[in-house]
Structure 1
């Protein structure tokens, strides 16, 4: 008989999975319905939604089922397949965020290079990120026992305990999956913000409208700074605890209980980033907000009230 705490926890996880699925499905539906979005950098947002939807529809439900049943109900082969999908989708989510930030950097700081990027180039970049995301953990999950003779997956639980098998591999992958993307995101967004400030200060303004222009500039800088800070902060808060815990565990196995409820909570905190991403990336785009409003109005049989004016992202 499951305890009340376990029931509440699994119910919360189920709600988180549902939010992740609904949010990302809506983002994908908006992209496929709106032809204007297909020719923009929002293709990266679509890719992010696909990766996050995979986390919400595959990673989360199987873990919930395992928690409810008390053990992994399927074969070891399916466990490996599930782990490959989970690790690849999480890694691709991070790489997609880096691509989005790089696209915004080119759009604002290097507009000529941004206009020169064709849709095929963008698709090629996305294909490369999926390959990289798979190579980070996929071969290790599939072939670890073949080359070492030790299966990194438990008999009754579908968990890849790399931190307990190889400190060097775990530390390196954690560094590549979190520290490097965080540094890239911080650099690219800082460049976007600094360039936006310089661009606004160079804009000519009339004497009569100087006060208004100054106020608009302050609002623009404040909103841009808040948006970029939130993007970085959410990624840091969701990913940092799990990655730091994994790095510590790889160096000191007795310092943290890898199979404890606390470490499971860190795993879910990382996954929660996939539930938040649609609201941070897709819905902060004015075109996406307009398209969502039209799509929801069409589904509900109502008319869209008004026009949503663009706001800086």
Structure 2
């Protein structure tokens, strides 16, 4: 008779492959199991409520409905589905080590879990790429808004790619192989023994996205630093005190022609790396000089470009936070998956592997809290929703 508890299978390369050998019920006391169950349910509720708040913000606040934030909405939808479907079904399986819902529900759960987790990762890559374009190629990025760029197409493409990576293998692997290797009381993918498939799939799911978002962030910070270095006090003061301010701000003098380029636009949007901002330096003419139309326009333009740079710096910081949280939540599981597969599952304790597995889902719980932390518009939209509900509750209680 085949003894499943004596077998140590390979680890899979996504966020739903955990085999409890032996089951937690045989490792922990009843009190510890109850505590674990409460923590799992709490994480599930936080994931659901947090992402509902993001979705409601888009429904109720029209100021959030522009290209970049639609990608955050796409991410919130995938994270919300993780909390609604994947976590609740996995909790009893995680605590008992046995699947009691049948093969059909198991297949559906596996497909949804792989799909949603992969879509969440791909959405983070798309968000990073969109921020990369908005900061480093601002002119062409604005020109594409509403013309050739359609965020809906990119959002749908994310889900298609996520589906193609794992779901066909989950649904048809046993039919191609001619038999199933999964016991009746277990729920994991048929390909958990195929190390080559797992390595390739995990590379496409985590390591390649991590390299891409790192590349985008490095270029964003490099672009901002280059623009800061090109700015100086002398340039700004000369812009305020002379008619050369037209050239400093990257614009031709009235009546004169000047070869404009994106490089000059980049220079014009730089600020000095000092405590005093460019807006302060360029917002008013220097003492002793009369305010000419040229200087007045120069001050206005410098104020706008300085504000653009400050906004880009905030974008870069917020994106860096989201990406760092993604890397911290996914890296432990991915690394343990490789180690576990290399040593046939004998060198990684199952409890440690289970902890890194739940760390993946923690990313879906943290993402909604990163939006208000990094974006003022999200924070204001959340406050409007929460305060409106609080006001409605007080009103209903007064009657």
Q: TM-score, length-normalised on structure 1? A: 0.86
Question: Which of 165, 177, 181 in structure 2 is aligned with 1:148?
Answer: 177
Question: How far 1:278 moved relative to its partner?
Answer: 1.3
1:186 is matched with 214
Q: CA distance change for structure 1 residues 282 and 100 in 2, over 3 Å: closer, same or farther?
A: farther
Aligned-pair RMSD on alpha carbons? 2.9
Is the deviation greater in 205-214 or in 62-71?
Answer: 205-214
> Which residue of 158, 165, 173 maps to 2:201?
173
- Alpha-carbon distance in 1 for matches of 2:370, 2:93: 30
Please list, as runs of the form range in 1=range in 2, the aligned pairs for 1:49-60 lying within 5 A after superposition. 49-60=76-87
In structure 2, relative to structure 1, the CA distance for the partners of 1:211 and 1:86 (3 Å cut) is: closer
Matched, 1:80 2:171: no
Unaligned segments of structure 2, at least 5 residues: 1-24, 241-271, 281-305, 393-399
Q: 1:294 to 1:73 in 2, by over 3 A?
A: same
Greater Cα shift, 125-134 or 198-207:
198-207
C-alpha offsets along residues 36-86 of structure 1, whole Å, 9 cap, x if unaligned?
222231000000000111111111111113235652221201100111000
Structure 1 gaps of 5+ residues are 303-313
Aligned pairs for 1:159-170 (under 5 A) are 159-160=188-189, 162-163=191-192, 165-170=193-198
Comparing 180-189 with 226-235, greater Cα deviation is found at 226-235
Q: Count matched residues.
A: 300
Give the structure 2 partner of residue 238 of structure 1. Answer: 329
User: TM-score with structure 2 length normalisation?
Assistant: 0.68
Structure of larger gyration radius:
2
| Distance in 2 (alpha carbons) for counterparts of 1:37 and 1:226 | 19
C-alpha distance in structure 2 between counterparts of 1:284 and 1:154, whole Å: 46
Which one of the candidate residues 210, 213, 217 is aligned to 2:277? Answer: 213
The structure-2 alpha-carbon separation of the partners of 1:152 and 1:235, relative to structure 1 and needing over 3 Å to count, comes to farther
CA distance 1:215–1:11, shift in 2 (3 Å): farther
Deviation at 1:120, TM superposition (A): 6.4
Greater share of helix? 1
Do the aligned partners of 1:98 and 1:185 also contact (CA within 8 Å) in 2?
Answer: yes
Quote how far apart the aligned CAs of 1:7 are: 1.3
Structure 2 match to 1:305: none
